[in-house]
Structure 1
Amino acid sequence: MCHDCVAGGAASGASRRSFARFLAAGAGLTVLAACTPEAPVAVAPSSPAPVPTVTSDYTSPSAAAVESTTAAAEPPAQAPVPPSAAASLPGQFSLTDPASPWVVVNKHRPLQPADYAPADLVQPNVQLAVSGEAALLNSTTAAAAEAMFAAAARDGVVMTLASGYRSYGTQVATYNGYVAARGQADADTASARPGYSEHQTGWAFDIGDGGGACGFQPCFADQPAAVWVKANGHRFGFVVRYPWWLHPITGYYYEPWHLRYIGVEAATDMANRGISTLEEYFGVEAAPGYAGN
C-alpha cells in the first residue's frame, strides 16, 4: 500500500488524501485505469467477495487512508475551448487513423480496425522496467521518449518505461480476465476493452520513477518523474493523458504515469492554452463510459 507516501506539503497531502477518499466512495476502492497490462486471476463463484486487490500495476487506497480523510477536493476549472483548438496549428492530422499522432482513442472512439498493430514498433533506448511487447513503442514515440528521458536525467530525474505497447491479443486476455474475476461492469472501469486502448497504438506508454516508489498509485503524482514530466513533457510532444478530476471527459481517473505523444506543436499549444484533455483540444465529445451502455 502507498497511502502514506505523499510528499509535497500539507496542501498536496490533503488533495491526494481527498483523491483516495473519492476513489473509495465512488469506485468501491478500485482504481479506475486505462493501463492494466496483465489479467487478474479469476475468482471462483463459491469464493467470498474479494477485498480490494492489487493487480500487477495498481494498488487501491487502504480503508485506513479513506477513513483519515477530512476535506473534499474541488475539480479544477477548465477554460472554455473552441470546437477544435487544434485548428489553429499549421499541420493537421487525422483523429481516426491509428497511425496518426492525433488519433483520439477513448470509450466512444475505438480503433479502426480493432486489431490494429503499428508497423514500426521498436524498443527505445531508455531504462526499462518491462520486457517483451510492453517494452516497444512506435518509432516516432520511441525517439521522443529517448530525448525526454535523457533531458530528465540531465536534471537529475530518473524515470523508467513501465508499460508500452499492448497488442490486441494481450488486451483480449486482460479484459476477459477482469470480466471472469469481477464482472463486466468492474472490468469496464479497471481495464480498457480490446480495441479501445491507446497502448495498442504505440503512441502511449506508462512511466515509473527511478526509485520505484508509488508505481501506478495516486501518490505517484508527487514522485520526481511525475513532477518533471508534467512540467516538461510538452517540450518533447507528450501530455498526461488522464488528468486530475477530468474523468467525466476522458473516462478514466487520474493517471500521472500515462503519457501520450501528440507532437511538440500540439502538446505545447495545449500547455500554453491551459487545455488538459485531447477531447477538449480536438473538439470531440466527452467519453465517460462506453457508448451504448
Structure 2
Amino acid sequence: MCHNCVAGLGPSAASRRSFARFLAAGAGLTVLAACTPPEAPAVAPSSSPSVSASPAVTSVSASPSPVPVESSTAAVEPPAPSPASPSAALPRQFSLTDPASPWLVVNKHRPLVPADYVPADLVQPNVQLAVSGEAALLNSTTAAAAEAMFAAAARDGVVMTLASGYRSYGTQVATYNGYVAARGQADADTASARPGYSEHQTGWAFDIGDGGGGCGFQPCFADQPAAVWAKANGHRFGFVVRYPWMFHPITGYYYEPWHLRFIGVEAATDMAARGISTVEEYFGVEAAPGYP
C-alpha cells in the first residue's frame, strides 16, 4: 500500500500512465466506484421520498478567508473513534454515525441509518452546474462551503463545475441493480456503491468537473486545473479528496480526484497538516476494502 500520497502531493505521471493502462486492461469501472457512471441505467420509480430542486441559496462572500460553515450541524452525540484517533485532539467532536453530522463515515462497513435517509436541508448551490435535478443539490452546509471554494478557485483563474451532487436512495437502487443485472454482484460492487452505502446520498459529498471539460470521471482528471486546485486548497473550506490515490485497501474505492467530501474546516485542515489521507484513519475506524 502506498503511503506517500499526503496532502498537496499528486501521483507521478508514470504512476497515472500505469493506472490508465490498468483501466484499459478491463478494470476501468473500478475508478468510478462511488460516483455516477457515464452509462448509468435510467432511474426506476422509488418509494423513497422525492426531492425537487429548491431555489439557489444566496452566494456567500467572495472573501478569500475560509468561512466556518459547520454551524447548522448537530454535535450532540459523541463520536465513535478511539480516544487515540487523530480527530480526538480537536476541541469540537461530532458523531460518526448521525447522517446530519459532518463527520459521518459511510463506507462498505458503515451503511447509512436509515438506509433511505434524505437530508432535510437540500439546496442548489450558487455555483456553475454541469447537472440538473437532484444531482445539483447539496445539504445547506456543504452548499455554502462549495460556494466559497468555487469562488476562491475562480479568483485564482480556475473554473470548477458541480458534476454530481445528491443522489437519492431510489437513484442508487436503480444504478446498482442495473450493474448487478449486467455484470453480476461481484463486479457491481467494484463499480457502484450498494444502496444505502453511498456518500452522495448524505448531501455531504459531490463530484467536481473542470471548466475546460477535460477528463471528466477519468484518471487523467487528476491533472486538470480544478482537481489540482481542489487537492491543494480544499481543506481551507472543509473538503478532502475522499478516495485518494492508492488507498483503496482502506476506503474500498479506487482513486477519485473529482470526489470531494465536506468534514469541516478544522478537521480537513488538521488532516492536511498531519498528512493523513483517509477519513477512516483520521477518525479511527476500521478499513473497509469490501462489504462484510
Contact 1:39 1:176 in 2 (8 A): no
Q: Deviations over 1:243-274 (max 9, x none)?
A: 00000000000000000000000000000000
Structure 2: distance between partners of 1:161 and 1:171: 19
Residue type matched to 2:19 in 1? F
Residue 224 of structure 1 corresponds to 225
Q: Deviations over 1:190-249 (max 9, x none)?
A: 000000000000000000000000000000000000000000000000000000000000
Residue 139 of structure 2 corresponds to 138
Change (3 A) 1:168 1:282: same
Q: Is residue 2:172 matched to residue 1:171?
A: yes
Residue 30 of structure 1 corresponds to 29
Structure 2: distance between partners of 1:237 and 1:29: 30
Residue 280 of structure 2 corresponds to 279
Contact 2:36 2:164 in 1 (8 A): no
Structure 1: distance between partners of 2:100 and 2:92: 15
Contact 2:30 2:253 in 1 (8 A): no
What TM-score, normalized by structure 2, do the two folds share? 0.79
Structure 2: distance between partners of 1:15 and 1:82: 36
Structure 2: distance between partners of 1:133 and 1:286: 30
Residue 45 of structure 1 corresponds to none
Correspondence 1:136-285 to 2 at 5 A: 136-285=137-286
Structure 2: distance between partners of 1:18 and 1:264: 34
Structure 1: distance between partners of 2:286 and 2:21: 28
What TM-score, normalized by structure 1, do the two folds share? 0.79
Residue 69 of structure 2 corresponds to none
Structure 1: distance between partners of 2:235 and 2:181: 39
Change (3 A) 1:83 1:107: farther
Residue type matched to 1:216 in 2? F
Structure 2: distance between partners of 1:118 and 1:192: 18
Q: Is residue 2:20 matched to residue 1:20?
A: yes
Contact 1:174 1:191 in 2 (8 A): yes
Residue type matched to 1:119 in 2? A
Contact 1:83 1:280 in 2 (8 A): no
SS across alignment from 1:117: coil
The offset of 1:143, in angstroms, is 0.1
Residue type matched to 1:31 in 2? T
SS across alignment from 2:161: strand
- Over aligned residues, Cα RMSD in angstroms? 1.7
Structure 2: distance between partners of 1:23 and 1:163: 22
Q: How many pairs are equivalent?
A: 241
Structure 2: distance between partners of 1:221 and 1:184: 29
Structure 2: distance between partners of 1:141 and 1:180: 34
Structure 2: distance between partners of 1:156 and 1:181: 42
The offset of 1:36, in angstroms, is 2.1
Contact 1:36 1:190 in 2 (8 A): no
The offset of 1:182, in angstroms, is 1.0
SS across alignment from 1:161: strand
Change (3 A) 1:247 1:24: farther
Identical positions, percent: 89
Q: Deviations over 1:142-191 (max 9, x none)?
A: 00000000000000000100000000000000000111111111110100
Residue 112 of structure 2 corresponds to 111
Residue type matched to 1:207 in 2? I
Structure 2: distance between partners of 1:94 and 1:189: 28
Unaligned residue ranges in structure 1 (runs of 5+): 1-10, 42-80
Larger deviation: 27-36 or 96-105? Answer: 27-36
Unaligned residue ranges in structure 2 (runs of 5+): 1-10, 43-81
Structure 2: distance between partners of 1:213 and 1:31: 20
Structure 1: distance between partners of 2:238 and 2:27: 35
Structure 2: distance between partners of 1:83 and 1:284: 11
The offset of 1:24, in angstroms, is 5.1
Structure 2: distance between partners of 1:24 and 1:284: 33
